């Protein structure tokens, strides 16, 4: 018992010093640095998923829904389906719940959730629903404030944290998104190009094994699109 007390007291002092250091660092940190600190604390101290973490009841949803995306602090909270090459634009107009013309966010028919590059398209509705808030990511302060994206996947029943890396506003009349790659080298080159050419860059790390792109209409021109690039949060900042 005596040895146990000798161990506990030094550890208690160490924990106190770490706590004080964290508080001081938090107070003097920029908003971006605070996001990084929050992620580090949740990964190393938080002990995993919170007890009230969201669970998707996949059994109650149509089988076409293979994923669900939410962006905390925004109105983005939507199902995701996979487009079929035979009907690549079906989900632009088809609601998976049969409830009207909002369409359903969908993965490009030349992509998949398995990667390495997954493009998801969604409408920008006038009422602010579906993917409308992704258009606001062209404002850097807004993007940093909403940098974390939760992607729930049906196949493994898991929540995957993504982290926004860059935002690009493109003219769809002559700018397209590449969907297939010969090898990892070509993917790395594409990621580098996306980050270098994007209008807003939050993180410059290019050695990612899976890049996501969430695209929606925006109104800088009659045919503009805002593309929000994100990577697995576990890869950290770069």
Q: Note the maximum CA span of the chain.
A: 75
Asked whether the CA dihedral 210, 206, 169, 178 is positive or negative, the reply is negative
| Residue 57: both structure tokens together | 């009841």
Task: Say how far apart CA 69 and CA 67 lie, in whole Å.
Answer: 7
32 pLDDT exceeds 90? Answer: no
Q: How much of the chain, in percent, has pLDDT values that exceed 90?
A: 48
Q: What is the pLDDT of residue 176?
A: 66
Residue 218: in which H helix or E strand, if any?
Answer: strand 211-218
Q: Is the confidence at residue 110, as pLDDT, over 70?
A: yes
CA nearest neighbour of 215 among 149, 146, 167, 151: 167
| CA dist., res. 99 & res. 43, Å (int) | 39
The 10s digit of each residue's pLDDT in 37-95 is 444 434 433 444 554 578 999 999 999 999 999 999 999 999 999 999 999 989 998 99
- Residues in a beta bridge with 166: 201, 229
**Average pLDDT value for the chain:** 78
pLDDT of amino acid 139: 96
Token reading at 129: 């629903």
Higher pLDDT, residue 148 or 173: 148
Tokens of 25: 């660092």
Three-state SS at 161: strand
Sorted by sequence, the CB contacts under 8 Å of residue 234 that are 6+ apart come out as 161
pLDDT of 214 over the 80 cut: yes
């Amino acid at each position: 018992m005596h040895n146990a007390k000798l161990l506990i007291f030094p550890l208690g002092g160490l924990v106190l010093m770490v706590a004080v250091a964290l508080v001081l660092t938090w107070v003097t940190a920029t908003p971006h640095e605070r996001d990084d600190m929050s992620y580090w604390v949740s990964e190393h101290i938080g002990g995993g998923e919170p007890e009230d973490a969201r669970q998707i009841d996949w059994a109650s949803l149509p089988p076409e829904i293979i994923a669900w995306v939410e962006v905390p602090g925004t109105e983005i909270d939507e199902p995701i389906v996979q487009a079929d090459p035979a009907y690549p634009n079906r989900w632009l107009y088809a609601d998976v719940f049969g409830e009207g013309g909002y369409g359903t966010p969908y993965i490009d028919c030349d992509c998949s959730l398995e990667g390495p590059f997954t493009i998801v398209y969604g409408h920008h509705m006038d009422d602010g629903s579906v993917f409308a808030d992704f258009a606001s990511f062209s404002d850097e302060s807004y993007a940093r404030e909403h940098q974390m994206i939760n992607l729930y996947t049906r196949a493994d029943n898991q929540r995957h944290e993504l982290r926004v890396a860059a935002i690009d506003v493109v003219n769809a009349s002559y700018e397209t998104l590449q969907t297939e790659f010969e090898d990892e080298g070509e993917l790395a080159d594409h990621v580098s190009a996306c980050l270098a050419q994007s209008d807003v860059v939050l993180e410059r790390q290019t050695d990612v094994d899976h890049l996501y792109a969430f695209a929606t209409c925006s109104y800088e021109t009659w045919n503009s699109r805002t593309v929000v690039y994100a990577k697995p949060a576990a890869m950290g900042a770069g």
